[in-house]
Amino acid sequence: MPSSVIRRFDYDERDQRLDIEFVSGNRYSYHQVPARIATALRAATSKGSFFNRRIRDHFAFTRREAD
C-alpha cells in the first residue's frame, strides 16, 4: 500500500540495514534492524505509523546523501 510519508524502502538482510527514502526526499539508513521488523513494515497498512511506533527512536541511523 502506498504511503504518504515513505516513498520507498529496501532491506539488506545480511547487513540488517533498512534504507528508507521519505516523500520529503530525505534518505536514512537504519542499522541492526531485525528482518522481522522489515517484514512487518512491508505488511503494515500504515507504513508511516509503523515507522513512528517501531523504527524511529529505536534504531541507530545515518543520513544518506543523494545519489
Domain membership of residue 14 (yes or no) is yes
Domain membership of residue 22 (yes or no) is yes
Domain membership of residue 46 (yes or no) is yes
pLDDT for 1-59, tens place per residue? Answer: 557 899 999 999 999 999 999 999 999 999 999 999 999 999 999 999 999 999 999 99
Extract the C-alpha cell encoding 39. Answer: 517484514
> Minimal CA–CA distance to 18: which of 4, 2, 3, 32?
32
pLDDT at 65: 85
Domain membership of residue 32 (yes or no) is yes
Domain count, the chain: 1
Q: For residues 25 and 22, give the distance between their C-alpha atoms in angstroms, rounded to a whole number.
A: 5
> Which residues, listed in sequence order, are joined to residue 27 by a DSSP beta bridge?
21, 64
pTM recorded for the entire structure: 0.91
3-state class (DSSP) for residue 8: strand
pLDDT at 43: 96
The one-letter amino acid at 12: D
Residue 67 banded pLDDT, cuts 50, 70, 90: low
pLDDT at 53: 97
Range of the domain at 52: 6-64
Domain membership of residue 36 (yes or no) is yes
Domain membership of residue 1 (yes or no) is no
